């Protein structure tokens, strides 16, 4: 099925949208409904990521919102509550900035042992031009009282089943930062439906979980919010922990700024090149709050490093394109690496910093390339396990989403057991006597296995 058709089928069953969304191309669909898609490595060739390639991360089903009936409510510890229409917001002074938006879970699929969650590789990230109003200007209109400490965002998406609502806070100081926006345009176009039409939060330098889409409510709180997506999800230990070991969410902190990172977009891992011919190694690098200072490339497994040429286009929160030309003289199997450093001196690690939800992967990217006169025959991947169908799985597990979010997992029995409990709490109709059979089936089909 083409991505366009997949995308359209993602909308099937949802209420009629008043405006068509931009179809996506070339991406890897992680879930059809809720809609999650990651950008292909080709997408890194553009400085501004085209909307039809920009990744989408959605926790619930996409809401059907209309510009004419839209309103933003601002309340909590404020001097005067506000109700603003889209026109009210557009009459306020507009600000435009370029910023990377990266999902906190980008790169999760590379962690070992495997971690439950969407198995993003490199493409849950994009760089766009966002236009809207400063959140600080909206808060000034409402007059935040001295008690205000956190700013809670809620969107017009409604949870699937009994899943907790997606609501996130940022500290008041971050909300007042002049770069924090409420955006109604992306790359010069009306904000597309899957990116939060008509209004989304833009928090440059911070992970995408703060960039709440379909924003309808802002509430100023005098204490941290205790909803699921602040108290349990999107938390990071902030220190090295033993891989595979559970950490109490109370011992972790909310994910905030992105880490320095670079991706090699070309050549592709596993590709073959000819000796004596120049090879352009290229990609992008980005960081959280400190801009990228330099990118270095190694073609000899990290023994020696060469500076890459940085692209001319730069914005404080945007990514930086880079390239380096390498002419391999001898045939052989090479491992290319790229390592970025930001202005503050922070650089990428060579080994993963495992954390329980698999957030903020920024390990030095390695790409294996064969320099060869003749193509190398690669071993065929192992066929998928042949497991007889289980009616209970289809009936209980494919009621809210399709098989895609399930099939990408590589989980142990204990992890599947916890996942089925989580889904049952969210509304999956799994009776206690049916659970073992479903878990057995899941382990046989989607159990631990080497990465593709
Ligand atoms: C009541 C609706 C519902 C049912 C039924 C359901 N799920 Fe889910 N499931 C969800 C939602 C919603 C998500 C996406 C959550 C997100 O993106 O934050 C999800 C996501 C997942 C994921 C991706 C990882 C994660 O935890 O987000 C897996 C794996 C999964 N479900 C497995 C299952 C299995 C196995 C079953 C059957 C036992 C099942 N689901 C039944 C609602 C459901």
Ligand 1 atom at minimum distance from 416 CA:
35
Please check whether residue 111 is in contact with residue 357, taking contact to mean a CB–CB distance below 8 angstroms. no
pLDDT of residue 4: 40
How many Å lie between the centroid of ligand 1 and the Cα of residue 439?
Answer: 14
Cα–Cα distance for residue pair 96/440, rounded to 1 Å: 52
With a 6 Å cutoff on the Cβ, whether 428 touches ligand 1 is: yes
Local mean pLDDT, 10-residue blocks, the chain (452 residues): 39 44 92 96 98 97 96 98 98 98 98 97 98 98 98 96 97 98 98 98 98 98 96 95 95 97 97 97 97 98 97 97 97 97 98 97 98 86 90 97 97 98 98 98 95 72
Structure tokens at 337: 């690496």
How many Å lie between the centroid of ligand 1 and the Cα of residue 403?
Answer: 10
Could you tell me which residues come within 8 angstroms of residue 384 by beta carbon, excluding any fewer than 6 positions away?
445
With a 6 Å cutoff on the Cβ, whether 104 touches ligand 1 is: no
Please check whether residue 246 is in contact with residue 264, taking contact to mean a CB–CB distance below 8 angstroms. no
CA distances for 108 relative to 116, 410, 426, 431, angstroms:
9, 12, 23, 31
How many Å lie between the centroid of ligand 1 and the Cα of residue 400?
Answer: 7
How many Å lie between the centroid of ligand 1 and the Cα of residue 170?
Answer: 27
The residue contributing the CA closest to ligand 1 atom 8 is: 423
Cα–Cα distance for residue pair 197/190, rounded to 1 Å: 8
234: left (phi over 0), alpha (psi -120 to 50) or beta: left
Structure tokens at 146: 């001295």
pLDDT of residue 378: 81
How many Å lie between the centroid of ligand 1 and the Cα of residue 14?
Answer: 18
pLDDT of residue 377: 81
With a 6 Å cutoff on the Cβ, whether 423 touches ligand 1 is: yes
Rg (Cα) of the chain, in Å, rounded?
A: 23
């Amino acid at each position: 099925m083409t991505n366009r058709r997949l995308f359209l089928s993602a909308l099937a069953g949802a209420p009629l949208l008043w405006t068509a969304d931009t179809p996506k191309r070339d991406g890897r669909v992680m879930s059809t409904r809720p809609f999650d898609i990651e950008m292909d490595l080709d997408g890194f060739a553009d400085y501004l990521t085209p909307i039809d390639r920009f990744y989408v991360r959605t926790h619930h089903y996409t809401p059907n919102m209309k510009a004419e009936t839209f309103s933003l409510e601002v309340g909590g510890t404020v001097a005067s509550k506000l109700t603003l229409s889209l026109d009210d917001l557009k009459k306020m002074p507009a600000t435009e900035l370029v910023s990377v938006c990266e999902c906190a879970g980008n790169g999760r699929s590379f962690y070992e042992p495997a971690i439950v969650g969407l198995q993003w590789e490199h493409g849950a990230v994009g760089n766009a031009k966002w236009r809207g109003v400063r959140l600080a200007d909206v808060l000034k209109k409402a007059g935040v009282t001295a008690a205000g400490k956190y700013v809670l965002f809620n969107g017009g998406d409604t949870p699937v089943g009994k899943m907790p609502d997606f609501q996130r806070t940022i500290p008041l100081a971050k909300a007042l930062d002049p770069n924090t926006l409420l955006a109604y345009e992306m790359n010069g176009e009306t904000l597309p439906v899957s990116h939060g039409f008509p209004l989304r939060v833009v928090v440059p330098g911070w992970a995408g979980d703060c960039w709440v889409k379909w924003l309808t409510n802002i509430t100023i709180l005098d204490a941290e919010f205790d909803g699921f997506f602040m108290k349990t999800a999107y938390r990071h230990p902030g220190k090295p922990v033993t891989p595979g070991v559970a950490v109490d969410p109370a011992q972790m902190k909310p994910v905030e700024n992105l880490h320095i990172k670079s991706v090699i977009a070309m050549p592709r891992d596993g590709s073959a090149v000819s000796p004596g011919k120049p090879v352009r190694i290229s990609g992008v690098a980005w960081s959280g709050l400190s801009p990228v200072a330099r990118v270095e490339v190694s073609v000899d497994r990290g023994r020696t490093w060469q500076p890459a040429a940085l692209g001319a286009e730069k914005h404080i929160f945007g990514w930086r394109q880079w390239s380096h030309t390498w002419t391999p003289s001898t045939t052989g199997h090479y491992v290319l690496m790229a390592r970025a450093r930001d202005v503050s001196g922070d650089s990428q690690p060579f080994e993963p910093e495992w954390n329980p939800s698999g957030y903020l992967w920024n390990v030095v990217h390695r790409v294996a390339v064969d320099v060869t006169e003749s193509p190398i025959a690669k071993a065929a991947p192992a066929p998928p396990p042949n497991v007889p169908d289980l009616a209970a799985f289809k009936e209980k597990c494919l009621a809210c989403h399709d098989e895609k979010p399930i099939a990408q997992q590589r989980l142990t029995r204990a992890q599947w057991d916890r996942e089925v409990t989580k889904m049952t709490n969210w509304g999956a109709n799994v009776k206690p006597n049916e659970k073992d059979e479903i878990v057995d089936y899941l382990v046989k089909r989607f159990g631990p296995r080497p990465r593709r």
